[in-house]
Amino acid sequence: MVTLYPNSYRVAVIGASGNVGSNTLSMLAEKDFPISKIYAVASDRSSGNDINFGNRGILKITGISDFNFKDVDLAFFCAGSEVSKQYVEKAVQNNVTVIDKTSHFRYHPKVPLIVPEVNENILLNGAELGIVSNPNCIVIPLSMTLKALDNVSKIKRVIVSTYQAVSGAGKLANDELKNQIRAIQNNEPFVPKVFAKQIAYNVIPSIDTPRIGGITGEEEKIANEILKIVGKHVKIFITCVRVPVLVGHSMSVIVETENEISPSDAYDVFASFPGIVVKDNLSNNDYATPIDAADQDVVFVSRIRRDVSAKNSIGYWVTADNLRKGASLNGVMIAKSMIKIDPTLSIFKNKN
């Protein structure tokens, strides 16, 4: 029996059977989001299957081609850009407010791209198209740390190297890592399918498709989203790497600012920023790893130190749960910000 709440919102999670969708359902339940009706929607081949709604019960999945968006107030799109491209317009034309977790609308000038701790104030202007976009799972924790520093001294340049878990590529990627480890241990042959190269006991310095200039699609997305969220004054260079970790994206960050920010000042700046926890005592092995970040709501910052190779530059380490903080939690936080601003969601409905 699913526990629901009267006088609240009819909610749909599109792509409910995938990593991000199932985690969004769990997060909605865990954070006690005010729901009067909940729909789990996925591909037609998943129709009729059971899926957990956290601790609030079991849902039957509805195939997307049979789903009636007129029954919904708020929809989380978690099924990939092609699904968003095909169905978001149908949703907003039926007066549904959409929180889209794919990259499809992130660069649209009329679609807010939101990390609540960073730019919640943008939501005061509503959403002209009825769509609010959830950023890339690296951008969410990265933008929080950059905004914390930018509030103190304007950022001039950022260099980032990411260490991204396989779950960022979906459930099949998780399975591929586990299966490759098993095959190697049993001395069995295998052929990579999800990734271009072996991921078990390896790292792959390429995520997404190649772009002009030798960068990848993931690197291009992250850079563009940081500019939209933190500010166009930020110059950023990024290298994205896939690592054999199931959950938890990490990154090494170097930031050059207009004025000096000492490591001790940076420690205080990060520690006082909402959603960031500092673990930084190297001599006591007090630093965060992806395992430490798993199932946590916060972004961890460690290894804060001066970059002696450049003026007014510091380096630090970041890690966060990419499925939780990097996707599902941020989306639910966006929804809570929206209903705090306008409980009717009227300013977040399509005006066209």
Active site residues: 137, 249
10 Å CB burial of residue 103 (0-12, 13-18, 19+) is: buried
- Please state, in angstroms and as integers, the Cα–Cα distance from residue 181 to each residue in 50, 53, 178, 200, 205, following that order: 30, 31, 5, 6, 19
**Given the structure tokens 């299957």, which residue do they identify?**
49
Other residues' Cβ atoms within 10 Å of the Cβ of residue 336: 15
**How far, in Å, CA of 22 to CA of 99, rounded?**
15
**What would you report as the CA-atom Rg of the chain, rounded to the nearest whole angstrom?**
20
Other residues' Cβ atoms within 10 Å of the Cβ of residue 91: 25
**How far, in Å, CA of 227 to CA of 150, rounded?**
12
The three-class DSSP label of residue 38 is: strand
Cα 22–Cα 275–Cα 233 angle in degrees, nearest 5:
105
10 Å CB burial of residue 312 (0-12, 13-18, 19+) is: middle
CB 350 within 8 Å of CB 93: yes
* Overall size of the chain counted in residues: 352
Give the pair of three-digit tokens for residue 46: 């998943």
The three-class DSSP label of residue 148 is: helix
**How far, in Å, CA of 350 to CA of 352, rounded?**
6
